[in-house]
Amino acid sequence: MSNEQGSGLARYVLGRLAQAAFVLWAAYTLSFLILWSLPGNIIANITGGQATDLTKEQISKIESTWGLDDPLWLRYLNSLGRALHGDFGISFATQQPVSRLVAQSIPPTVAIAGLGFLFALVFGVGIALAATRARWRWLSGLLLALPPLGVAIPSFWLGLLLIQFFSFAIPIFPSTGNDGFVSAVLPAITLAVPTSALIAQLLASGLQQALAQPYADTARAKGASASRVQLRHAFRNAVLPALTVSGLVVGGLLAGSVVTETVFSRNGIGRVTASAVSAQDVPVVQAVVVFASVVFVLVNLIVDLVYPLLDPRIVTVRRRRLPVTPIPEGV
Amino acid sequence: MTGPLLSVDDLRVEYRSGRTRIRAVRGVSFEIRPAERVALVGESGSGKSTIAAAVVRLLAPAATVTGGGIRFDGADLLSAPPRRVRAVLGRRIGYVPQDPTVSLNPVTRVGEQIAEVLTIHGLANRKTARIDAVAALEKAGIDHPAERARQFPHELSGGQRQRVLIAIALAARPALLVADEPTSALDVTVQRRILDHVDDLTADAGASVLLITHDLGVAADRTDRILVMSHGRIVEAGTPEQILGAPQDPYTRSLIAAAPSLNTVGTTFLDRARLAAPAHTPADPPDAPDAGSAPIVEAVGLVKDYHSGGRSSRAVDDVSLSIRRGRTLALVGESGSGKTTTARLVLRLAEPTAGEIRFDGQDITALRAGALRRLRRRIQVVYQNPYDSLNPRMSVGRLIEEPARSLGIGSRAQRSARAAELVDLVGLASSVLSRRPAELSGGQRQRVAIARALIVRPDLVVLDEPVSALDVRVQAQVLELLARLQAELGVAYLFISHDLAVVRQISHEVIVLRGGVVVEQGPTEDVLTDPRHEYTRELLAAIPGHAQRPPHGESDAGTAPSTARAPSTALASSTAPARSGAHTTGDIR
């Protein structure tokens, strides 16, 4: 029995890993094909817009050093092989190794994204709990109107507004830069607003549904207080649908970093993405796509593995010791 | 402390939605003395569950108490602050909800859910609560209580979950138990054992009981006093003997007349329909043995195995059946008995692992796509739940025409003419044709489902628990309709049910299934009056209403042969004496 359990779990995890690998490969291939079929003069991108001044020999020399004279399928195989070893080539714009460029810009983004996620959790969960607990209907209505508003506010405008108030009017936080925790607060808030709105929305509707379930009535009939019913009984059930979209949440943070880092003039993956896209720096964009898909795949993998722990009904591994029905009633 | 434990005084409750107000409870007063067991009986919409919800302060947000009071042990429950109410709930008043499948928190172990009552009220600390929870489970009659306490609700059967809920309600030894239809979602034998257990536990603790039920039989067996409710008012109150023996109110009388469990002797709907049917009916030969007529459907040695995760389980094991034209065969059993699977095999909705099915002489076991589709025209189905089986976006007219349309039968004009005829035949006004299912009551919806099944003029209709979701009086009307339609149209029924009392009303022959195996089969009267198998006797004994029965012949014309039966051989008395196994004279095939 335990052997069967072990192999079941191993098969589940292996299956998930295989899926993850497939998603990564598909993301790489699709982005490779799309990026290399974009219109635009690659030589000009590499040389910084001076392609017209170049002689034929110079062009063919550039083509051979960058491997551009190879057919597309060969370039694809070569770059895929290198990417598997962590080598994403040289940036067209900066002539630096792409891996180093991306690796350097990850930590500052992780700082604001992590802090932003924390804020988003606190705001989102707080709003959802308060809205479903409010004794007055108008208050709960007001709180439930916040998430749509939060999604609707453009990040760049919110960022500028925050700078206006907390950097210029009341100078608490710096408006730009990468210096330590203080500089990360305003960008993190900017990132957190749309994310917390998503969390609040999902969690509030989950809580409302859970509180209307008969099992919530069972808890109330035990003499449980409203907060006990909400936190002990409804919350764990309501958190499950919210968990399912964690991939979206993390994706939202990454996407938000493009605007946020630009507004706050911060270094990070968002800035790198923005400048690489505008310069058609294909190797860098390719690496960013791979990075984003790795994050997505990892988050979803973690969620898939954690889910059965939170929801016992999802049976991925047989661990029952007693049969479900065959035991006769009232023996 | 000699006063009543619970007193409800002129209680009025309203439901509001938009501008409409529904007065669900219109001035209800009653008292429950210590250790007294009181039943509130009524049909859906009578307001009985609203009263239970008001007592345990679980009224829906749309409901408002507009007048009256509820006093428990001398203290006003309605005006008490939440903190005071919480101190009473769970501790002094235990509550058993209606549907065990959704009333336990799915992500918490059942032991913890029981322990919670004790820790909330400070009756135990976390450690001792865990031990007490196991003891409570054991008391509620659960096997392996220590292991079960560590399981999650989805790992338990419906009956086990209801036992867990009973353990929760009784863990703190409350003075009053409020049970809202505690067993209506369960099989009859499970219902009986669970109610027995509740009786024992509450009697031990000297607790009072407020039992909400739609079943007069259950109320009569289990309580000291019955309050009959209709349209938000108590129309009659009295002891079970008074209510069942000499009902005063016409509503109470109609409830008693309709309850199959209280009418286990005397004429059935089948008898009456046969007497009423015109003499020239096409297919149904009166009640002759008609041994000569060939069966419309015949199945031999049906076997169905299910495989999951390398294990295989046998849902149906060597079941053979045969139904003649214009006759009814009932498949009776509890959940997991294989009755629905057997019907699905006959319908060719599932592939039999072994066995053969013949329809009108033709082997249909291996029929494929096109031929199978033509077969659909001759076999139709009516499902249990009329709320789920009708597409809410279609008009009734379209719903009824649907099978004919999808099978390409008749012109558009012919179909709508036939639909209008059928609506009339099933006793609905022609105005329903343009309405949507949501505008109809449960009984009306089931009539629509029956009309839909009949539009293709099938030879066989499979009725899957067609009345078990309906109130007793509506149930009686639908059974009567089914019997009449059979007499008029000569259609055969395969009737699936868990309820032998209902089966008696409608079917000529019966097969009792248990664990996929036929335990008994034969003509309905023979099987019910002289059951040979222990399990059949158990099913019969589980039919509620044994303690009290109305004097028989009350609703009978006295013309049918079955009324001539001596009471000793009647269904009502087959409980204890038959258990000895002395009756072996019955001739079953």
Given this model, what pLDDT does residue B586 score? Answer: 36
Does A217 contact B97 at a Cβ distance shorter than 8 Å? yes
pLDDT, one tens digit per residue, over A172-228 is: 888 877 777 888 889 999 999 988 998 999 999 999 999 999 999 999 999 999 999
Per CATH, is A98-320 categorized as 1.10.3720.10? Answer: yes
Measured distance CA(A105)–CA(A116) in Å, rounded: 17
**Angle of the A98-133 helix axis to the A137-152 helix axis, nearest 10:** 160
Using CB atoms, which residue from B88, B104, B156 is nearest to A215? Answer: B104
Contact B93, B180 (CB under 8 A): no
Q: Minimal Cα distance from A331: which residue of B? A: B143
> Can you give chain A as a three-state secondary structure string?
CHHHHHHHHHHHHHHHHHHHHHHHHHHHHHHHHHHHCCCCCHHHHHHCCCHHHCCHHHHHHHHHHCCCCCCHHHHHHHHHHHHHCCCCCECCCCCCEHHHHHHHHHHHHHHHHHHHHHHHHHHHHHHHHHHHHCCCHHHHHHHHHHHHHHHHCCHHHHHHHHHHHHHHHCCCCCCCCCCHHHHHHHHHHHHHHHHHHHHHHHHHHHHHHHHCCHHHHHHHHCCCCHHHHHHHHHHHHHHHHHHHCHHHHHHHHHHHHHHHHHHCCCCCHHHHHHHHHHCCCHHHHHHHHHHHHHHHHHHHHHHHHHHHHHCCCCCCCCCCCCCCCCCCCCC
Is pLDDT above 60 for B547?
no
Is pLDDT above 50 for B526?
yes
Q: Is B394 helix (H, G, I), strand (E, B) or coil?
A: coil
Does A329 contact B160 at a Cβ distance shorter than 8 Å? yes
Measured distance CA(A25)–CA(A293) in Å, rounded: 10
DSSP string, B237-249: EE-HIIIIIS--S
For residues A72 and B284, which has the higher predicted lDDT (pLDDT)?
A: A72
pLDDT band at residue B553 using 50, 70 and 90 as cut-offs: very low
What is the residue whose two structure tokens read 């969390």? A199
For B100, other C-beta atoms within 10 Å of its C-beta total: 27
Contact B146, B128 (CB under 8 A): no
User: How far from the centroid of its chain's Cα atoms is residue A236's Cα?
Assistant: 23
Given this model, what pLDDT does residue A301 score? Answer: 86
Note whether B58 contacts A: Cβ–Cβ < 8 A: yes
Given this model, what pLDDT does residue A7 score? Answer: 63
Q: Is the sign of the CA dihedral B95, B100, B105, B107 positive or negative? A: positive
Given this model, what pLDDT does residue B582 score? Answer: 36
> Can you give B472-501 as a three-state secondary structure string?
HHHHHHHHHHHHHHHHHHCCEEEEEECCHH
The ipTM value here is 0.77
- Which of these, B229, B183, B179, lies nearest to B202 by C-alpha position? B179
Does B156 contact A324 at a Cβ distance shorter than 8 Å? yes
Contact B26, B45 (CB under 8 A): no
Measured distance CA(B134)–CA(A244) in Å, rounded: 35
Measured distance CA(B379)–CA(B372) in Å, rounded: 10
Measured distance CA(B206)–CA(B5) in Å, rounded: 12
Note whether B13 contacts A: Cβ–Cβ < 8 A: no
Using CB atoms, which residue from B97, B147, B336 is nearest to A214? Answer: B97
Query: To the nearest whole number, what is the mean pLDDT of chain B?
Result: 84
Is pLDDT above 50 for B550?
no
For residues B165 and A331, which has the higher predicted lDDT (pLDDT)?
A: B165
Q: Beta strands B295-308 and B311-324: pairing type?
A: antiparallel
Does B116 contact A219 at a Cβ distance shorter than 8 Å? yes
**Angle of the B158-170 helix axis to the B188-205 helix axis, nearest 10:** 10
The enclosing H or E element of B136 equals helix B126-139
Does A223 contact B193 at a Cβ distance shorter than 8 Å? no
Note whether A85 contacts B: Cβ–Cβ < 8 A: no
Nearest C-alpha of chain B: how many angstroms from A220?
8
Query: Chain A to chain B, count of Cβ pairs less than 8 Å apart?
Result: 110
Does B102 contact A214 at a Cβ distance shorter than 8 Å? yes
pLDDT, one tens digit per residue, over B25-55 is: 999 999 999 999 999 999 888 899 999 999 9
pLDDT band at residue B209 using 50, 70 and 90 as cut-offs: very high
Given this model, what pLDDT does residue A52 score? Answer: 65
Note whether B184 contacts A: Cβ–Cβ < 8 A: no
Nearest C-alpha of chain B: how many angstroms from A215?
4
pLDDT band at residue B564 using 50, 70 and 90 as cut-offs: very low
User: How far from the centroid of its chain's Cα atoms is residue B376's Cα?
Assistant: 28
Phi-psi map region of B394: left, alpha, beta (phi>0 left; psi -120 to 50 alpha): beta
Chain A residues inside the 8 Å CB shell of B198: none
Does A219 contact B105 at a Cβ distance shorter than 8 Å? yes
